[in-house]
Amino acid sequence: MKKELRLTVNGQPYELYINPKTLLVEALRDHLGLTGTKRGCNCSSCGACTVILNGMAVKSCSILALQADGEEILSIEGLANGTELHPLQKAFLDHGAFQCGFCTPGMLMSATALLDENPKPTKEQMKEGIDGNICRCTGYNSIIRAITAVVKGEYKEEK
Amino acid sequence: MSKYSVIGTRVHRVDGPEKVTGSAKYTFDMVLPNMLYGKILRSPHPHAKILNIDTSQAEKLIGVKAVVTGKDTLGRKQGIWRRFPELCDEEILCRDKVRYIGDPVAAVAAIDEYTAEEALDLIEVEYEPLPAVFDPLEAIKEDAPQIHEGVELNINVTRHIEWGDVDEAFKKCDHIREDQFKCSSQAHMCMETHDAVASFDYNGKLTVWTSTQSSYFIQRLLADMLDLREGDIRVIKPPTGGGFGSKFELDSAQFCASVLSMKLCKPVKIVLSREEEFTATKRRTPMYYYLKLGAKKDGTLLAKEVRVITEGGAYTGMGATALYLTGFFSSFPYKYPNYRYDGYRVYTNTAPTSAMRGFGAPQSTFVGESQLDMMAEELGIDPIEIRRKNGMTPNYEVPGQAYIQSCGLHQCLDKIEEHIKQRGKLPPNHGIGIAAYGFMSGGIFNWFDTPYAFSAALVRINIDGKVDLFTGACEIGQGSDTTLSMICAEELGIRLEDIRIHSGDTGICPADLGAWGSRETLMNGNAVKMAAADAKRQLMEFAAAKLGANIVYDMDIKDRWIHLVDRPERGVSYFDIVKEAIRGKDGEVIIGRGHYTPHHKGMISPAYSFGLQAAEVEVDPETGKYKLINVTTAHESGTVINPVGIEGQLEGAIMMAGGYGFCEDQPMDEGKILNPSIADYKLIRSLDMPETKILEIDTYEPEGPFGAKEAGEGLTNPTAGAIGNAVYKAVGVRINNLPITPEKVLRALKEKQKQGKKIK
| ipTM of model | 0.98
Q: Which residues of A are less than 8 Å from B692 in CB distance?
A: 139, 141
Shortest distance, CA A38 to any CA of chain B (angstroms) = 8
Q: What pLDDT is stored for residue A159 in this prediction?
A: 46
Q: Does B429 lie in the same domain as B293?
A: yes
Whether residue B414 sits in one domain with residue B291: yes
Taking an 8 Å cut-off on Cβ atoms, the answer to whether B648 and A92 are in contact is no
Of A41, A127, A137, nearest to B678 by CB-CB distance is A41
Residue B179 located in a structural domain: no
Is B63 within the bounds of a domain? yes
Which of B1, B15, B13, B9 is closest to B641 using CA atoms? B9
Structural contact between residues B694 and B412, judged by C-beta atoms closer than 8 angstroms:
no
Burial (Cβ within 10 Å: 0-12, 13-18, ≥19) of residue B599: exposed
State the Cα–Cα distance between residues A50 and A62, nearest whole angstrom.
10
Q: Quick check: B759 pLDDT over 70?
A: no
- Amino acid A114: pLDDT: 98
Q: Check whether A144 has a pLDDT greater than 60.
A: yes
Are residues B641 and B545 part of one domain? no
Do B567 and B638 lie in a common domain?
no
Residues B504, B519 within the same domain: yes
> What is the rounded average pLDDT of the residues B148-175?
98
Fill in the DSSP letter of residue B428.
Answer: T
Fold assignment, A3-78: Ubiquitin-like (UB roll) (3.10.20)
Domain membership flag for residue B736? yes
Give the DSSP letter of residue B64: E
- B486 and B460 belong to one structural domain: yes
Query: Hey, what amino acid is at B646?
Result: I
Phi, psi of B2 (to 5 degrees): -65, 145
Contact list, A138 vs chain B (CB under 8 Å) = 648, 651-652, 655
Which of A102, A114, A124, A127 has the most B C-beta neighbours within 10 Å, making it the best mutation to test the interface with B? A102
Structural domain A87-151, CATH architecture: Orthogonal Bundle (1.10)
Question: Residue B562: its pLDDT value, please?
Answer: 97
DSSP conformation letters of B240-267: ----TTSSSS--HHHHHHHHHHHHHTS-
- Does the model's pTM come out above 0.95? yes
Rounded Cα distance between A3 and B154, Å, is: 57
What's the gap between Cα B33 and its chain centre?
A: 35
Residue B168 lies in a domain: no
Is B292 in contact with B304 (CB distance < 8 Å)? Answer: yes
What beta strand segments (E) does B395-535 contain?
Answer: 396-398, 402-404, 430-440, 455-461, 467-471, 499-503
Measure Cα distances from A65 to A26, A49, B335, B563, B586 in Å.
Answer: 8, 13, 62, 63, 61
pLDDT band at B757 (very low <50, low <70, confident <90, very high): confident
Residues B227-241: what's their mean pLDDT? 98
pLDDT per position as a tens digit, B710-730: 998 999 999 999 999 999 999
> Domain for residue B96, yes or no?
yes
pLDDT in tens, A12-63: 999 999 999 999 999 999 999 999 999 999 899 999 999 999 999 999 999 9
First CA to last CA across chain A, in angstroms? 46
User: Nearest C-alpha of chain A: how many angstroms from B333?
Assistant: 26
Indicate the residue of B12, B193, B686 with minimum beta-carbon distance to A130.
B686
Residue B307, amino acid = R
Query: Is B1's pLDDT higher than 60?
Result: no
Q: How many of the other CB atoms lie within 10 Å of CB of B397?
A: 11
Instruction: Report the number of secondary-structure helices (H) and strands (E) in chain A.
Output: 5, 5
pLDDT per residue over B541-566, tens digit each?
999 999 998 889 999 999 999 999 99
Q: CA A46 to CA B690: how far, in whole Å?
A: 20
DSSP B668-681: EETTEES--STTTS
> Is there a contact between B375 and B298 (Cβ–Cβ < 8 Å)?
no
pLDDT above 50 for B734:
yes
pLDDT, one tens digit per residue, over B429-466 is: 999 999 999 999 999 999 999 999 999 999 999 999 99
Confidence label for B758 from pLDDT (cuts 50, 70 and 90):
confident
What residues contact B518, with CB distance under 8 A and at least 6 apart?
B439, B440, B441, B442, B609, B710, B711, B712, B713, B714
The answer to whether position B55 is within a domain reads yes
Which residues of chain A lie closer than 8 angstroms to B678, CB-CB? Answer: 40-41, 43, 45-46, 134
Q: For B20-44, what is each residue's pLDDT tens digit? A: 999 999 999 999 999 999 999 999 9
Over residues A87-125, the pLDDT tens digits come to 999 999 999 999 999 999 999 999 999 999 999 999 999
Query: Range of B640's domain?
Result: 283-444+602-759
Which residues in chain A have Cβ-Cβ distances shorter than 8 Å to B273?
A: 42
Spatial separation of the C-alpha atoms in residues A41 and B566, rounded to whole Å: 60
Is residue B707 domain-shared with residue B754, that is, in the same domain?
yes
pLDDT tens-digit readout, B180-201: 999 999 999 999 999 999 999 9
Distance CA B222, CA B214 (A): 12
Instruction: Search chain A and give the residue with CA nearest B654.
Output: A139
B107: phi then psi, degrees, rounded to nearest 5: -140, 150
Q: Is the distance from CB of B693 to CB of B397 less than 8 angstroms?
A: no
Domain stops at, among B547, B580, B596: B596
Are the CB atoms for B735 and B744 separated by under 8 Å?
yes
- Tell me which amino acid residue B46 is: P
Q: What is the DSSP string of B501-521?
A: EEESBTTTS-----S-TT-II
Number of domains in chain B: 3
pLDDT band at B760; cut points 50, 70, 90: low
Please name the residue of chain B whose CA is at the shortest distance from the CA of residue A46.
Answer: B678
| CA distance linking residue B522 with residue B709, whole number of Å | 5
Q: How far apart are CA B112 and CA B542, in angstroms?
A: 59
DSSP B90-153: B-SS-SSEE-STT-EEEEEEESSHHHHHHHHHH-EEEEEE------HHHHTSTTSPPSSTT-GG
Q: Is residue B497 part of a domain?
A: yes
Does B399 share its domain with B487? no
Co-location of B334 and B413 in the same domain: yes
Residues B293 and B351 in one domain: yes
Preferred mutation among B11, B18, B20 to probe A, highest tally of A CBs within 10 A: B20
Separation of alpha carbons B481 and B642, rounded Å: 11
Q: What would the DSSP string read from start to end of B316-356?
A: -TTHHHHHHHHHHHTTTTB--SEEEEEEEEEE-SSS-EE--
Same domain? B271 vs B397 = no
CATH number of residue B505's parent domain = 3.30.365.10
What is the CATH number for B227?
3.90.1170.50
Question: Which pLDDT score, from 0 to 100, does residue B505 have?
Answer: 98
pLDDT at position A157 is 60
Q: Order of strands across the sheet with B124-129? A: B97-98, B48-54, B124-129
Count interface pairs A-B at CB distance under 8 A: 165
Whether the pLDDT of residue B239 is over 60: the answer is: yes
Q: Where are the domains of chain A?
A: 3-78, 87-151
- pLDDT at residue B302, as a whole number: 98
Whether residue A123 contacts residue A144, with contact meaning beta carbons closer than 8 Å, is answered with: yes
Nearest to B314 by CA among B280, B274, B360: B280
Q: For residue A128, count other CB atoms closer than 10 A to its CB.
A: 14
Compute the mean pLDDT over every residue in chain B, rounded to the nearest whole number. Answer: 97
Out of B15, B29, B651, the one facing A138 most closely (by C-beta) is B651
Whether residues B534 and B674 fall in one domain? no
